[in-house]
Amino acid sequence: MSLEVLKPSISKNVALGLAQILLWGGSYFILSILVEPIMQETGWSYQMVYGCLSLSLLISGLLLPRIGKIIGENEKNFVLPYAGAIMALGLTIIGLSDHYLLFLAGWAIIGVAMGMGLYDALFASLGKSYGMATSKVIVQVTPIASLAPTISWFLVSLLLSNYGWRSSCFIYAAILLVTIFPIHRFALPLAAGNTGKQPPLNDNKAISHKPFRSKVYYLLLVNFTIGAVLTTGIIIHLIDILLDKGMAMATIVGAVAFLGPSQAGVRVLELLFSKNKPAKTAVISGVVTLLGILLLLLNPNFAILGIILFGMGNGMRSILRGTLPLAIFGQEQYAAVVGKLARMPLIAQALTPFIGSFLIAQYSATVFLFTCCLLALINIMLFLMVPKLMPQQNELRGSITVSVATKS
């Protein structure tokens, strides 16, 4: 089976990175800036406001397997280019909401947009357009996208200080409307149609349910889920953790600022210097993440170093979410695999803020960090098992290819 694919382009990858910054900023990160003015004006509690983000993550996770299948089965990409319009609709409803149910509905719509436009949908789309060159594209796009918290927090803060939280939602919605669609049409021209030369990646003859029942698939599913819990738990509760360690707020603000650059920096290093295979990089990512959490647990004097190491590990993890499934399952089933692998991690992300808050409130930040260390250690052990199972998966891929060739 021959697949016609695009060649990577720096300008297109930069554009995709900028689109990711805007989409992450309009969903996952926007509440970090707007939560306080929303609570002050409406009287809604912290749990009520952030509970809406959990709902968005849950909806996104439930939709992603279907979204991955749609991307894989259709020559025209009906998903990624339209994520900005859907997210803009959600933000507009949020800006108009005087009742909590309307606010909740806006975040439900944003959850749909998150499933359509964030990393998992992007990786699936890249896999279809770039084939085995997808790994290179992911490594180029993610360093730019990793600046999303820094850039989006600055942009939303600027809008908030000048216009208030409701107008900030409207203005950000307008930005998404005028940027996301043209960026994806420019950066992924194959998604608009390919004159019939590229056969559908997820042809019914080519897809087997066996990859989704293999040991390595379930291993990655557990591994990615634990990684999502660690990322969400540490980032959302980082300020509370540092406050619990007795650090002053001014010091905390300076320390937290290292998170975004460390994520971006390690992705640039991966782009420039790394020759490691994804399975080996996965082990390095797990070890670095564990070291970062350990430093946060053991001594507040090493908080900045801990944040940097955690950011580096998380930066590598973001790349691995796209490159490791490609290395294991191949291009033909990539879009479907990415969608299925994303469901449980996003559901776990939706539950993590509540579980983390419970552990910190009922016990302490130390207990929470100790739990995270145990999860990080388990993840390293799972990563070590991946190379041992890859030959079995390669044999399975080979048998599917032979079967497809015979039927064709």
Domain harbouring 360, CATH code: 1.20.1250.20
81 & 12 share domain: yes
Last residue in a domain, options 161, 180, 201: 201
183 & 236 share domain: no
Name the residue range of residue 79's domain.
1-201
189 & 232 share domain: no
pLDDT at position 378 is 93
Question: Is the pLDDT assigned to residue 194 strictly greater than 80?
Answer: no
Domains: count for the chain: 2
Question: Is the pLDDT assigned to residue 173 strictly greater than 90?
Answer: yes
99 & 213 share domain: no
170 & 40 share domain: yes
15 & 119 share domain: yes
80 & 184 share domain: yes
pLDDT single digits (tens) 212-243: 567 888 888 899 899 989 988 888 778 778 88
Better-predicted residue by pLDDT, 110 or 308: 110
193 & 228 share domain: no
Better-predicted residue by pLDDT, 243 or 43: 43
According to the 3-state scheme, what is the secondary structure of the chain? Answer: CCCCCCCCCHHHHHHHHHHHHHHHHCCCCHHHHHHHHHHHHHCCCHHHHHHHHHHHHHHHHHHHHHHHHHHHHCCCCCCHHHHHHHHHHHHHHHHHCCCHHHHHHHHHHHHHHHHHHCHHHHHHHHHHHHHHHHHHHHHHHHHHHCCHHHHHHHHHHHHHHHHCHHHHHHHHHHHHHHHHHHHHHHHCHHHHCCCCCCCCCCCCCCCCCHHHHCHHHHHHHHHHHHHHHHHHHHHHHHHHHHHHCCCCHHHHHHHHCCHHHHHHHHHHHHHHCCCCCHHHHHHHHHHHHHHHHHHHHHCHHHHHHHHHHHHHHHHHHHHHHHHHHHHHHCCCCHHHHHHHHHHHHHHHHHHHHHHHHHHHHHCCHHHHHHHHHHHHHHHHHHHHHHHHHHHHHHHHHHHHHHHHHHHC
pLDDT at position 270 is 64
Question: Is the pLDDT assigned to residue 395 strictly greater than 60?
Answer: no
pLDDT single digits (tens) 313-370: 888 887 788 778 887 877 777 777 877 888 888 888 888 877 887 788 788 888 999 9
pTM: 0.75
pLDDT at position 212 is 58
